[in-house]
Copies of this chain bind each other. A is one copy, B any other.
């Protein structure tokens, strides 16, 4: 990936609302966009709340998808999904062959995350995923508006180009904005939040 095409196929994933610390699964929606413009496809999967299956579930749906050959990059809303189900973005990159960009609207508080993860028997494994995700970078989207991101499998300048071209409608990349709207509608009947 050298030149970033405006129509680059991005798949973005976000989870829907769920009851924290409950048993069961959280719905996850993936949306395939061409750049920030054209919605090409949708996925609906589930991950265990506070489980550790998210990386495998994402690898499976992506590798099976009819869009796989067109896809160029995976976007995540942070590296956790369905509570403390932590995505190993190195493994996600290696097993799909697709670069990964994880976006946060706020600077994650790693100290608080570490404390929460210490409640899990497999703390070591989860914390390793957090550390392997690498440095959290800051990027200015607008005046006084920053987002924070981590990435694997591409250059930082490429990651920033992709973020910029996909923020067509708001301060969040379009695949993540739309995945969030759909996932919240699945649970609540009508979408909520950052439209």
Say whether A195 faces chain B, with CB atoms less than 8 Å apart. Answer: yes
Kindly report how many copies of this chain are found in the complex they form together. 2
Judge if A113 is at the interface, Cβ distance under 8 Å. no
Q: Which of A14-41 contact B (CB under 8 A)?
A: 29, 38-41
A185 within 8 A of B: yes
Question: What residues of B have a CB within 8 angstroms of the CB of A184 in the complex?
Answer: 42
A44–B45 alpha-carbon span in the complex (Å): 16
Interface size on A, residues (CB 8 A): 24
Bound-state Cα–Cα, A195 to B65, Å: 14
**A41 and B189 contacting across the interface, CB-CB below 8 Å:** no
Q: 13 pairs across A/B with beta carbons < 8 Å?
A: A39-B39, A40-B195, A41-B185, A41-B190, A41-B195, A42-B185, A42-B190, A43-B189, A43-B190, A44-B185, A45-B189, A66-B190, A186-B186
A interface list, Cβ under 8 A from B: 29, 38-45, 61, 64-66, 169, 178, 181-182, 184-186, 189-191, 195
